[in-house]
Amino acid sequence: MKHSIPIRLSRMFLALALAILGLFFSSGPLQAITFSDWQSSVFSPTELTNPAISGSNANPTGDGISNLLKYAYGIDPHTTSLSPTSFSLTSNGPTLTFPELDGTTDLLYHLSETPDLQHWITPNNPTITPLSDNGTLSTVSLSDPNAPTSSV
């Protein structure tokens, strides 16, 4: 089963929405993992029986980051965290930078953008740039040099 969650960031009425899939940039062989594998490795048997703690949309620490995103970002679900994503306007257009857990096989990323937070489009050729990879986590940036801009 593929999992996806929208993440929306805005600046000057420009937003990037993200729903999740592993992009593999590691040079070495990876152990393929799924959300279910990750759940089994980070939650106790008792926690696994409670979807309010171990479910994909659960947020047991109350930090606003669901377990599915913590899986995608390689974050311990028992730890209160700040979002590891960042948004910036660069020479390549609006850019979203985020970490991703290497080896995931059940995540799908979808980039959408808008000039007004009402009309969303999918860019034709977003730029995907691997920034680093430590063998466990990769840092990736997504940008669109042809993104719509706001007149405000």
Q: Which residues of the chain have pLDDT under 50?
A: 4-30, 151-152
Q: Are 59 and 67 in contact (CB under 8 A)?
A: yes
Question: What is the rounded CA–CA span in Å between residue 2 and residue 9?
Answer: 23
pLDDT one-digit tens code per residue, 107-150: 887 778 887 888 888 888 888 889 999 988 999 998 888 776 65
Domain boundaries, the chain: 7-143
What's the pTM?
A: 0.72
Q: How far apart are the first and last CA of the chain?
A: 41
Dihedral sign, Cα of residue 109, residue 115, residue 121, residue 124: negative
